[in-house]
């Protein structure tokens, strides 16, 4: 019997070739400034229109500075040009655009769900690997290259090979101060950064059902860091309650029909999977990465691992190189690692619930001397909501910078960057060499753990901080 993924897939098949390649109908395309200019240019050169502009949502996010002067002038010429092109292309084709002066602007993967633009059962693409985030709604959502962006713009379809199916069942409940970020980091550590290659991962089980939509997005967001292009969660009452009343969700007159449709999407009880994994939620501790791959994650009580103990020469070499880049010695306690910067943001952890948890730890505390910390809301609406709740005051009084939304220090494509050698506790999703700026060192962790690091000046177990 079909899995959730197969049900959605089957409903979108337009044509099939003998070799298994399938032409899939695409319901929604998200567009940002980095991977779309050539696609629009290609269409223009071919003299083809955008087939269904109403299915597009364009948002500048990667290159945008997070300072208020960004609507006046952007210093970097390439960024300025890409953002101007996005504006021009959206206007010319009739795509919806949330521009820099629009309160709805932010990171595309935060903005689209916030608007109710992604519904259960949809197919969604974006020229961005973290599109998997949106699988949290029970959708087939995945990142594509720029030539595929152009193909979807022109035809509303895409050729694709069906991935294999993996099910990750998370049994039991997460412990206090252990969240969705810890869950996904622990999973990636277990199966490896290539563990999900060629698969779509469906997350299920008691702990997943108990997650909010925002937490499910955090889990699905990092599915790509486990090598899988697709991550998804079956839609349920949590999903429907989240969507209800959002600007691009089905309106009152269509709501009951939409619900009836969506309720039929869950995987059948006897659905077949190519791979299955069970995780015990209660056994997961707050995580932190020590190396240069998201799979290099350990419980915060751990120590920097010793390459000498690696199972293969290749792994030993990779670990050596990672420790060298990170400036760490094998055997050091993770809680002894001093940090220079803290970044709370990115499409993994910049939604309102992330900021609420972060603020609850920051309240009444101070960022440690010598540490520069920033909070970057994922969208203008997240920012407004946080300000309504007084969270901005909590952060500012604690010594954090509070900025405008964007990808910011998640990657070094805008002015928010690490300097060479700087060490950062970051709620983002990638700790690759140079990711947050050339020579920068990244430790991935949850928002609560990031604040614990900010106020103590070193990687720190938020449970110990809160118990003290």
Ligand X SMILES: CC(C)[C@H](C(=O)O)[C@@H](O)C(=O)O
Q: Which residues bind ligand SF4 (CB under 6 A)?
A: 61-62, 107, 109, 128, 130, 346-347, 407, 410-411, 428-429
CB of 430 to ligand X, least distance (A): 6
Which residue's Cβ lies closest to ligand X? Answer: 129
Among the listed residues 147, 146, 226, the one whose alpha carbon sits nearest the alpha carbon of residue 183: 226
Following DSSP, what letter does each residue of 287-350 receive, concatenated?
EEE-SSSTT-EEETT-BPPPGGG-SSHHHHHHHHHHHHHHT--TT-BGGG-B-SEEEE-TTTS-
Compare residues 64 and 233 and give the one whose CB is closer to ligand SF4: 64
If binding is defined by CB under 6 A, does position 83 make contact with ligand X? Answer: no
Contact between 195 and ligand X per CB under 6 A: no
Q: Are 285 and 320 in contact (CB under 8 A)?
A: no
Residue closer to ligand X by CB (options 435, 463) is 435
In the list ligand SF4, ligand X, none, the entry touching 423 (Cβ below 5 to 8 angstroms by class) is none
Q: In whole angstroms, what is the distance from residue 153 CA to residue 127 CA?
A: 11
Q: Which is nearer to ligand X, 250 or 405 (CB)?
A: 405
Do the annotations mark residue 460 as ligand-binding? Answer: no
30, β-bridge pairs: 57, 126
Residues near 198 by beta carbon (within 8 Å), at least 6 away in sequence? 163, 164, 227, 228
Which of 143, 179, 406, 447 is the binder for ligand X (CB under 6 A)? Answer: 143
Q: Of 448, 445, 175, 206, which Cα lies nearest the Cα of 337? A: 445
CB of 37 to ligand X, least distance (A): 12
Give the binding range for ligand X (CB under 6 A) out of 83-91, 124-132, 232-240, 323-331.
124-132
Distance CA(263)–CA(255), nearest Å, equals 12
- Alpha-carbon distance of 261 to 163, in angstroms, equals 24
Q: Does 184 bind ligand X (CB under 6 A)?
A: no
How would DSSP label each residue in 406-422?
Answer: SSGGGSSSSS--PPTT-
- Rank residues 232 and 411 by Cβ distance to ligand SF4 and give the closer one: 411
Which of ligand X, ligand SF4, none lies near 56, with the C-beta cut-off 5 to 8 A by kind?
A: none
Select the binding partner of residue 133 from ligand SF4, ligand X, none (C-beta < 5 to 8 A, by kind).
Answer: none
Shorter beta-carbon distance to ligand X: residue 222 or 455: 222
Give just the sign of the alpha carbon dihedral 434, 35, 109, 405.
positive
Cα separation, 382 vs 343, in Å, equals: 16
Does 35 help bind ligand X (rule: CB under 6 A)? yes
Q: Residue 346 touches which of ligand SF4, ligand X, none (CB < 5 to 8 A by kind)?
A: ligand SF4
Query: Is residue 130 involved in binding ligand X (CB under 6 A)?
Result: yes
CB 13 within 8 A of CB 23: yes
State the binding partner of 223 from ligand SF4, ligand X, none, CB within 5 to 8 A by kind: none
Q: Give the sign of the dihedral formed by CA 188, CA 190, CA 193, CA 196.
A: negative
Q: Where are the alpha helices (DSSP H) in 212-306?
A: 213-221, 237-243, 252-263
Contact 108, 126 (CB under 8 A): yes
Q: Please select the residue that binds ligand X; options are 128, 182, 225, 295, rule is CB under 6 A.
A: 128
Is 410 a known ligand-binding residue?
yes
What six digits make up the tokens of 119? 């519904």
Which entry of ligand SF4, ligand X, none binds 144, CB below 5 to 8 A by partner kind?
Answer: none
Q: Within 10 Å of residue 15's Cβ, how many Cβ atoms?
A: 10
Element (H, E) at 14: strand 13-16
- Closest approach, Cβ 410 to ligand X, in A, equals 6
Question: What is the nearest approach in angstroms of ligand X to the Cβ of residue 429?
Answer: 7
Residues 52-81 that bind ligand X (CB under 6 A): 62
C-alpha span between 447 and 355 (Å, rounded): 7
Which two three-digit tokens encode residue 204?
């299920």
- 203: β partners: 168, 233
Comparison of 59 and 279: residue with beta carbon closer to ligand SF4: 59
Confirm whether residue 347 is marked as ligand binding: yes
Closer by beta carbon to ligand SF4, 214 or else 461:
214
Interacting residues with ligand X between 394 and 413 (CB under 6 A):
411
Binding residue positions for [4Fe-4S] cluster: 347, 407, 410
Binding residue positions: 347, 407, 410
**Contact set with ligand X (CB under 6 A):** 34-35, 62, 128-130, 143, 411
């Amino acid at each position: 019997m079909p899995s959730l993924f197969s049900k959605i897939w089957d409903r979108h098949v337009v044509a099939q070739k003998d070799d298994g390649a399938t032409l899939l109908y695409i319901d929604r395309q998200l567009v940002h400034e980095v991977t779309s200019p050539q696609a629009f240019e290609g269409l223009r050169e071919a003299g083809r229109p955008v087939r269904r502009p109403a299915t597009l949502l364009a948002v500048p996010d990667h290159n945008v500075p997070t300072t208020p002067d960004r609507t006046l002038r952007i210093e970097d010429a390439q960024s300025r040009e890409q953002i101007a092109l996005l504006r021009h292309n959206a206007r010319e084709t009739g795509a919806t655009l949330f521009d820099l002066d629009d309160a709805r602007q932010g990171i595309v993967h935060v903005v689209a769900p916030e608007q109710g633009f992604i519904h259960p059962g949809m197919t969604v693409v974006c020229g961005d690997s973290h599109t998997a985030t949106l699988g949290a709604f029970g959708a087939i959502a995945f990142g594509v290259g720029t030539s595929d962006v152009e193909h979807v713009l022109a035809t509303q379809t895409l050729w694709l090979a069906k991935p294999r199916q993996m099910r990750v069942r998370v049994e039991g409940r997460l412990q206090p101060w252990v969240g969705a970020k810890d869950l996904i980091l622990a999973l990636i550590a277990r199966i490896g950064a290539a563990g999900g290659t060629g698969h779509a991962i469906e997350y299920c089980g008691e702990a997943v059902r108990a997650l909010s939509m925002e937490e499910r997005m955090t889990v699905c967001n990092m599915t790509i860091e486990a090598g899988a292009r697709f991550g998804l969660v079956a839609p349920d009452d949590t999903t429907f309650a989240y969507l209800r009343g959002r600007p691009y969700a089905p309106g009152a007159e269509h709501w009951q029909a939409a619900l009836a449709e969506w309720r039929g999407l869950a995987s059948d009880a006897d659905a077949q999977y190519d791979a299955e994994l069970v995780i015990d939620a209660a056994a997961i501790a707050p995580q932190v990465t020590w190396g240069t791959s998201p799979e290099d994650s350990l419980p915060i009580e751990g120590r920097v691992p010793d390459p000498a103990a690696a199972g293969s020469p290749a792994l030993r070499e990779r670990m050596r190189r990672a420790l060298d880049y990170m400036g760490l010695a094998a055997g050091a306690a993770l809680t002894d690692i001093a940090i220079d910067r803290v970044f709370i943001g990115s499409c993994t952890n910049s939604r309102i619930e992330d900021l609420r948890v972060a603020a609850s730890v920051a309240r009444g505390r101070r960022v440690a001397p010598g540490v520069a910390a920033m909070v970057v809301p994922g969208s203008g609406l997240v920012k407004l909501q946080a300000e309504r709740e007084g969270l901005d005051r909590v952060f500012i009084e604690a010594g954090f910078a509070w900025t405008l939304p964007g990808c910011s220090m998640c990657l070094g494509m805008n002015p928010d960057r690490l300097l060479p050698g700087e060490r950062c506790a970051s709620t983002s999703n990638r700790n690759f060499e140079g990711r947050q700026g050339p020579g920068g060192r990244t430790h991935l962790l949850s928002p609560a753990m990031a604040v614990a690091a900010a106020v103590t000046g070193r990687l720190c177990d938020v449970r110990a901080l809160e118990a003290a």
